[in-house]
Chains A and B, each alone.
Chain A
Amino acid sequence: MTAATMTAPLTKPGANEGRIGLRGNLRHIGALVRRNALQIKQDPESMFDVLLMPVIFILLFTYVFGGAIAGKDHQADYIQRLVPGMMAMMGMNIAMAVGSGVNEDFRKGVMDRFRTMPIARSSVLIAKIVVEIGRMLVAIAILLGMGFLLGFEIRGSALEFLAAVALSTAFGAALMWIFILLGLSVKTPQAVQGMAMLVLMPLQFGSSIFAPPTSMPGWLEGFTKVNPLSTLADAARALLNGEGAVAHPALITLGWTVAITAVAMPLAVAKFRKKT
């Protein structure tokens, strides 16, 4: 056996060689966004949540439950309540998919390929988030289109409308970090979905999205008050309908957005680093 000496030079000059600049990072993220977009093209069923969920939910709640919730002759009022609320919900529902997506990536050999390449590991995550935000915007567009068909009208200004979209998207993006963390922590994409649903259902329905909290028992009404989906829905409602208090629910939602990101993002990134 060879003696414990090395004939190769110890190291090449410049231990930092290979550091990736901003332009390089953007190029890598661009290539990976393209990858994620092509995956959707190849597997159009993965867009079902984006394409069908807004349609099904809006029809279900307007025609099946809407009459019971708002009264048979008040469906027009109910749509004004429902659409902004669902806009708030959409971010959360789409964000869920990022968890199973990240989980699936780690089960495939392609992750090994990325990890042996001279790219920042975070670009894989960032590309995913960029694509998911794109999906959220598509879902919101479909939701609004469907809403318009059923008589929904935007009564706020264009700026207020944009603010509502931005707030919903920002909150959804914050939630993505939680789902990424979940996706990195559990074993299978199915488990990610199961666990996500467990969190999703109470938050969705224990909120002001579908029914006025004042119609609920006291304890549930209390829960809806602290549920960030309620405040987001209230803010979106006030912005799109051009009436009611905006500042208070919007600020609370922003607070949640920042807090969730501040806690979940470092945890998710640390977990990702550890796994890669």
Chain B
Amino acid sequence: MTTKGGNAVEVRGLVKHFGDVKAVDGVDLDVKEGTVLGVLGPNGAGKTTLVRCLSTLLVPDAGRAVVAGYDVVRQPRALRRTIGLTGQYASVDEKLSGWENLYMIGRLLDLSRKDARARADEMLERFSLTEAAKRPAAKYSGGMRRRLDLAASMIGRPAVLYLDEPTTGLDPRTRNEVWEEVQRMVREGATVLLTTQYMEEAEQLADELTVIDRGRVIAEGRVDELKAKVGGRTLQIRPADPGELDRMVGAIAQAGLDGIAGATADHDGGVVNVPIVSDEQLTAVVAVLGGRGFALAGISTHLPSLDEVFLAITGQKTSGAPESHDLTEDQQYAEVSA
């Protein structure tokens, strides 16, 4: 086992091509033990292929990856004892009840009948699924299914957990529940590799970020470093009277606040957009508007979208390469040694 503070995941020069599609094209990354690495990228960037390589579902064409001390190609069997995977699509048996799914996985992980039963109960309780324990998973809502999937991944207390776009397609409330669970797993010592398309998710969960595009790493670093690079947040102010948008922009410009430039009026949205980098700037802008007697109906701040991040890093829009699950089944299930 790697020592505390070592890397739980080390990937060097990983390559996986499907015919002409260079899904993963020489990726290097590290995940320190007990931390969360966010892998941020648009659809088709190679995130899912990367996770499939690291979870022994695909054999890479070149490069090396060591997870929890096991080589993903040479020691897949041992590795499978130490990892958990929750994919974009819930990998539970929909015809089985939540409890039966967890019990089955416990037995497949060599727990005794008694332990498997106890663990299934425990995980259902923890993921607030006790009431739905006996219902078939097919009847679960999207959020419940995702929680069951997370619970299934946690049965074996994996040292390394892969979460492949864990909140894609979830409503905000369910998304928050999933986030809380992930944060709890990390507090309990799990190492997490998380792929996401959302800057907000990365900011919530990840300690460090790796941005990938077209199978290559295009930026990496701590979340705040990358955010600084991209330029902070956008403050959106909604006046009670939409007719005052332009006067508000004028007032902000006149005030000459430190570091505030480029407030713009969005007439369609009925808001004024102000790029800011600190909470102090937010307070200052609101104070100016309040001081001038503007009636405000709403204030919100927004993190830059993935598109804006990409624009800032590469000067280009996201590539939008073909999504990995557009590949044919045979490509996805390409050879893997047992």
Name A residues whose Cβ lies closer than 8 Å to a Cβ of B: 1-2, 4, 6-12, 14-15, 17-20, 24, 27-28, 30-32, 34-35, 38-39, 42-43, 106, 108-121, 187, 273-276
Name B residues whose Cβ lies closer than 8 Å to a Cβ of A: 2, 6-7, 10, 12-13, 28, 30, 55-57, 64, 66, 69-71, 74-75, 77-81, 83-85, 87, 89-96, 100, 104-105, 107-110, 136, 152, 217, 220, 329, 333, 335-336, 338
Contacts of B81 in A (CB 8 A): 18, 118
- The listed residue (A11, A17, A27, A108) touching B77 by CB distance below 8 A is A17
Evaluate contact between B105 and A117: CB separation under 8 angstroms: yes
Evaluate contact between A108 and B93: CB separation under 8 angstroms: yes
Evaluate contact between A12 and B70: CB separation under 8 angstroms: yes
A118 to B68, CA, bound (A): 15
A114 to B104, CA, bound (A): 11
Evaluate contact between A8 and B7: CB separation under 8 angstroms: yes
Contacts between the two chains (Cβ within 8 Å), count: 132
Centre residue among B56, B104, B329, B336 by max chain A CB count within 10 A: B104
User: In the complex, what residue of chain A is closest to B9 when comparing beta carbons?
Assistant: A8
- The listed residue (A1, A6, A106, A276) touching B336 by CB distance below 8 A is A276
Evaluate contact between A1 and B217: CB separation under 8 angstroms: yes
Evaluate contact between B6 and A8: CB separation under 8 angstroms: yes
User: In the complex, what residue of chain A is closest to B100 when comparing beta carbons?
Assistant: A38
A208 to B30, CA, bound (A): 67
A7 to B6, CA, bound (A): 8
Query: With contacts A39-B95, A274-B333 known, is A118 near B77, CB below 8 A?
Result: yes
Evaluate contact between A109 and B90: CB separation under 8 angstroms: yes
Sample 21 A-B pairs with CB under 8 A, ordered by A number: A1-B220, A9-B2, A10-B66, A14-B78, A15-B74, A18-B81, A31-B104, A34-B107, A106-B333, A108-B91, A109-B91, A110-B91, A110-B92, A115-B57, A116-B80, A116-B84, A117-B109, A118-B109, A119-B108, A120-B338, A121-B338
A31 to B112, CA, bound (A): 11
Considering the complex of A and B, which 3 residue pairs feature the smallest CB-CB distances, nearest first?
Answer: A18-B77, A109-B91, A31-B107
A14 to B8, CA, bound (A): 19
Contacts of A34 in B (CB 8 A): 100, 104, 107
Query: With contacts A4-B28, A15-B74 known, is A109 near B95, CB below 8 A?
Result: no
Measured CB to CB, the closest approach of chain B to A189, in angstroms, equals 14
Centre residue among B79, B95, B335 by max chain A CB count within 10 A: B95
Measured CB to CB, the closest approach of chain A to B190, in angstroms, equals 16
A27 to B94, CA, bound (A): 22
A9 to B70, CA, bound (A): 9
Evaluate contact between A17 and B75: CB separation under 8 angstroms: yes
Evaluate contact between B57 and A112: CB separation under 8 angstroms: yes
Evaluate contact between A17 and B2: CB separation under 8 angstroms: no
Query: With contacts A6-B66, A19-B77, A121-B338 known, is A108 near B94, CB below 8 A?
Result: yes
Contacts of A27 in B (CB 8 A): 107, 110
A202 to B69, CA, bound (A): 57
- The listed residue (A4, A12, A30, A187) touching B69 by CB distance below 8 A is A12
Centre residue among A19, A27, A120 by max chain B CB count within 10 A: A27
Contacts of A110 in B (CB 8 A): 91-94
Evaluate contact between B95 and A42: CB separation under 8 angstroms: yes
Contacts of B71 in A (CB 8 A): 10-11
Evaluate contact between B107 and A30: CB separation under 8 angstroms: yes
A7 to B13, CA, bound (A): 15
Measured CB to CB, the closest approach of chain B to A187, in angstroms, equals 8
Evaluate contact between B75 and A12: CB separation under 8 angstroms: yes
A15 to B69, CA, bound (A): 11
Measured CB to CB, the closest approach of chain B to A131, in angstroms, equals 13
Query: With contacts A1-B217, A11-B70, A11-B71 known, is A24 near B110, CB below 8 A?
Result: yes
Centre residue among B66, B78, B108, B220 by max chain A CB count within 10 A: B108
Measured CB to CB, the closest approach of chain A to B154, in angstroms, equals 13
Contacts of A7 in B (CB 8 A): 6-7, 10
Measured CB to CB, the closest approach of chain A to B50, in angstroms, equals 14
A110 to B90, CA, bound (A): 8
Contacts of B96 in A (CB 8 A): 35, 38-39, 42
Evaluate contact between A2 and B30: CB separation under 8 angstroms: yes
A111 to B338, CA, bound (A): 14
Query: With contacts A31-B104, A274-B333, A276-B333 known, is A113 near B6, CB below 8 A?
Result: no
A160 to B274, CA, bound (A): 89
- The listed residue (A1, A2, A28) touching B108 by CB distance below 8 A is A28
- The listed residue (A19, A20, A108, A116) touching B55 by CB distance below 8 A is A116
User: In the complex, what residue of chain A is closest to B116 when comparing beta carbons?
Assistant: A31
User: In the complex, what residue of chain A is closest to B92 when comparing beta carbons?
Assistant: A110
Evaluate contact between A113 and B83: CB separation under 8 angstroms: no
Measured CB to CB, the closest approach of chain B to A252, in angstroms, equals 36
Measured CB to CB, the closest approach of chain A to B179, in angstroms, equals 21
Evaluate contact between B10 and A115: CB separation under 8 angstroms: no
Contacts of A12 in B (CB 8 A): 69-70, 75, 78
Measured CB to CB, the closest approach of chain B to A236, in angstroms, equals 34
Evaluate contact between B78 and A18: CB separation under 8 angstroms: yes
Contacts of B329 in A (CB 8 A): 106, 187
Query: With contacts A8-B6, A11-B74, A116-B55 known, is A38 near B66, CB below 8 A?
Result: no
Contacts of A4 in B (CB 8 A): 12-13, 28
A113 to B52, CA, bound (A): 11
Contacts of B64 in A (CB 8 A): 6
Contacts of B338 in A (CB 8 A): 120-121, 273
Contacts of A106 in B (CB 8 A): 329, 333
A66 to B104, CA, bound (A): 48
A13 to B54, CA, bound (A): 20
Evaluate contact between A17 and B78: CB separation under 8 angstroms: yes
